């Protein structure tokens, strides 16, 4: 037992080191997790004999639950909403198109049976949220036209459709009951959605309207709620992954207490889940088998990357007047990874009798996809002129927080003010604040305790940043020329009584507005609700 604990700890430490130095290696971190698994596997240095696909399926399925939940929980709906229709089409119809086109190409060129071709298309039809999120964050890839939010929402929500197609494919190859396919699709989507929405509503009610969950137990409650949601969805015949995704996106965009605790907790859990899945994929693999499946795997990578995925993307996005550049980038960003490999493990553990080594083919496809597409994604974005230097991709996630722990405030001193003609050390400052400088006409004075404050001075104070609670929210709105607030005074806006414009950021200037303040194009308006 002690040896197992040491081994697990060593693996985690190695993965942490891999994450630390991944930029130096020039490839996504998840690839390194795979290589560490191969290093420990049967053909590696440590030579741990592990080929228990059933155990791997159970472990990876649990890990995928939390990846799916956090994918929804961490999606900022305000930024995802404008691209939601396109993302949902890509994650449903797009997945089906990708699966069917890939199946047809496998049948024509690889000569597998049609049922087997459909199965491999289904397993590989979804893009991988873990890979997409990791690369966008790691490379700080700020993309134009809401493309980052589009990719995040699509990759976070398309695993349920791929899972459903995989279950149908398993039935087609004789390892399960297909039943009424139309009813299965309807029940999985309908019941999965309803269960996720119901559990989200119940969780929010318990967290905000009752004292059932005491401080410190929020994370434990949420783990139990996510697992319970998954199990109930399975019992009623819903799509379990769709349920936990819906639950995540609703709760993540609601006003619940201690969200600032839940976000870093589930960020850590999801990171551990990604390490676990990609390490197990490497551990399960037998590199000596890979030369035999190298050519079919390369052919499938070409089918997916250059034909099936682009057909799905262009067919669905062009009607929305998406640019060709955006379509090309979204096509290239269709990375395969954890979910596809987990579904391949599911097929093997089901006992499906197939004529090819599905797991190692999917493993190689995922390896090529993340290594080649993932590594070249930043370069592709730059080549297509889709990088937005003024944006911050971190803001598309709910876990984004401004890095500054303090903020600056300008305080004008009129004649008769009780600070007039007093030294800085003799005035009563707001708690936690500090006078940094005084702007006096065109002069800037760095303050000391004996600095005297004059009438007409602007005293620049540093004050602690305020963290709003669950019932309060600060939002930034970027004003373009089409925005209804552009070139209007605040008094003309007819804001709701519970909404206040707290600040306007105009270039390098922070403006505390009043009713006569005019909002200009390119302003950033900070509202308090």
Write the pLDDT tens digit of every residue in 211-253. Answer: 888 777 889 999 999 999 999 999 998 999 999 999 999 998 8
Going by pLDDT thresholds of 50, 70 and 90, the confidence category of residue 46 is confident
Q: Is 143 helix (H, G, I), strand (E, B) or coil?
A: strand
Cα 279 to Cα 508: distance, rounded to the nearest angstrom: 46
Q: Is 442 helix (H, G, I), strand (E, B) or coil?
A: coil
CA distance readout (Å), 3 to 9, 102, 173: 10, 44, 41
Instruction: Work out the angle at residue 390's Cα, subtended by the Cα atoms of residues 388 and 391, and round it to the nearest 5 degrees.
Output: 70
DSSP, res 212: S
pLDDT above 80: residue 394: no
Residues 263-318 pLDDT 10s: 888 888 888 888 888 888 889 888 888 888 999 999 999 999 999 999 999 999 99
Q: What is the pLDDT of residue 403?
A: 46
Give the chain's end-to-end CA distance (angstroms, integer): 53
Cα 79 to Cα 396: distance, rounded to the nearest angstrom: 6
Domains of the chain: 2-396 (1.20.1530.20), 406-464 (3.30.70.1450), 473-529 (3.30.70.1450)
Q: Is 76 within 8 Å of 397 (Cβ atoms)?
A: yes
Token pair in block for residue 325: 């550049």
- For every residue of 252-269, DSSP letters joined together read HTS--TTHHHHHHHHHHH
The share of the chain scoring above pLDDT 90, in percent, equals 29
Cα 76 to Cα 85: distance, rounded to the nearest angstrom: 15
Q: Is 121 within 8 Å of 17 (Cβ atoms)?
A: no
Token pair in block for residue 488: 């209007």
Q: Please, which residues have CB within 8 angstroms of residue 60's CB and are 6 or more apart in sequence?
A: 276, 277, 280, 338, 341, 342, 345
pLDDT above 60: residue 158: yes
Q: What is the pLDDT of residue 96?
A: 94
Q: What is the pLDDT of residue 225?
A: 95
Strand ordering across the sheet containing 406-412: 406-412, 458-464, 434-440, 443-446
Going by pLDDT thresholds of 50, 70 and 90, the confidence category of residue 23 is low
Nearest to 316 by CA among 77, 120, 154: 154
Averaged pLDDT of the chain: 85
DSSP, res 401: -
- For every residue of 8-70, DSSP letters joined together read HHHHHHHHHHHHHHHHHHTS-HHHHHHHHHHHHSTTSSS------HHHHHHHHHHHHHHHHHH
Token pair in block for residue 56: 């791997």
Going by pLDDT thresholds of 50, 70 and 90, the confidence category of residue 453 is very high
DSSP, res 525: E
Nearest to 131 by CA among 161, 152, 162, 147: 152
Helix 358-368 vs helix 29-40: crossing angle, to nearest 10: 140
Element at 201 (helix H, strand E): helix 181-209
Cα 255 to Cα 510: distance, rounded to the nearest angstrom: 27
pLDDT above 90: residue 98: yes
Query: Of residues 449 and 18, which shows the higher confidence score?
Result: 449
pLDDT average, residue stretch 194-201: 95
Residue with tokens 């699966």: 99
Going by pLDDT thresholds of 50, 70 and 90, the confidence category of residue 51 is confident
Q: What is the pLDDT of residue 472?
A: 58
């Amino acid at each position: 037992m002690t040896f197992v604990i040491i081994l697990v700890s060593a693996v985690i430490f190695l993965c942490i080191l891999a994450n630390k130095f991944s930029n130096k290696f020039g490839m996504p971190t998840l690839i390194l997790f795979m290589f560490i698994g191969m290093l420990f596997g049967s053909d590696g240095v440590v030579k741990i004999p592990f080929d228990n696909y059933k155990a791997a399926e159970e472990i990876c399925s649990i890990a995928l639950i939390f990846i799916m939940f956090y994918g929804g929980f961490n999606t900022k709906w305000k930024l995802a909403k404008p691209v939601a229709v396109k993302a949902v089409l890509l994650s449903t119809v797009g997945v089906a198109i990708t699966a069917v086109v890939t199946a047809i190409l496998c049948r024509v060129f690889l000569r597998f049976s049609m049922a087997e071709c459909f199965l491999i298309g289904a397993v590989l039809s979804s893009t991988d949220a873990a890979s997409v999120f990791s690369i966008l964050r790691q490379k700080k890839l700020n993309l134009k036209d809401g493309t980052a939010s589009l990719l995040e929402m699509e990759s976070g929500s398309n695993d349920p459709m791929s899972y459903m197609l995989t279950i149908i494919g398993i039935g087609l190859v004789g390892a399960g009951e297909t039943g009424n396919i139309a009813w299965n699709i309807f029940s999985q989507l309908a019941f999965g959605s309803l269960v996720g929405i119901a559990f989200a509503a119940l969780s929010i009610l318990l967290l905000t309207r009752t004292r059932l969950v005491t401080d410190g137990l929020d994370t434990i409650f949420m783990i139990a709620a996510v697992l319970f949601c998954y199990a109930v969805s399975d019992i009623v015949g819903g799509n379990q992954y769709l349920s936990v995704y819906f639950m995540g996106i609703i709760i993540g965009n609601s006003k619940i207490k201690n969200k600032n605790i839940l976000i870093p907790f589930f960020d850590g859990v999801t990171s551990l889940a990604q390490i676990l899945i990609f390490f197990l994929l490497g551990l399960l693999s037998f590199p000596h088998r890979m030369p035999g499946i190298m050519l079919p795997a390369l052919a499938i990578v070409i089918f997916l990357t250059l034909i099936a995925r682009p057909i799905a993307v262009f067919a669905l996005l062009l009607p929305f007047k998406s640019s060709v550049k955006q379509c090309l980038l979204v096509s290239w960003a269709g990375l395969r990874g954890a979910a596809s490999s987990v579904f391949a493990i599911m097929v093997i553990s089901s006992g499906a009798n197939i004529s090819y080594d599905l797991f190692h083919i999917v493993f190689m496809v995922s390896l090529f996809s993340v290594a080649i597409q993932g590594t070249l994604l930043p370069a592709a974005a730059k080549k297509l002129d889709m990088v937005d230097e003024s944006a911050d991709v971190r803001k598309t996630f709910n876990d984004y927080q401004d890095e500054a722990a303090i903020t600056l405030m300008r305080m004008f001193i009129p004649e008769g003010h009780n600070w007039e003609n007093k030294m800085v050390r003799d005035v009563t400052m707001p708690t936690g604040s500090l006078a940094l400088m005084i702007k006096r006409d065109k002069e800037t004075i760095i303050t000391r305790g004996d600095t005297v404050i004059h009438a007409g001075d602007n005293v620049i104070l540093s004050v602690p940043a305020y963290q709003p609670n669950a019932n309060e929210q600060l939002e930034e709105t970027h004003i373009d020329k089409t925005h209804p607030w552009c070139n209007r005074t605040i008094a003309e806006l007819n804001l709701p009584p519970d909404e206040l414009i707290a600040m306007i950021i105009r270039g390098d200037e922070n403006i505390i507005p009043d009713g006569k303040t005019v909002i200009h194009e390119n302003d950033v308006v900070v509202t308090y609700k």
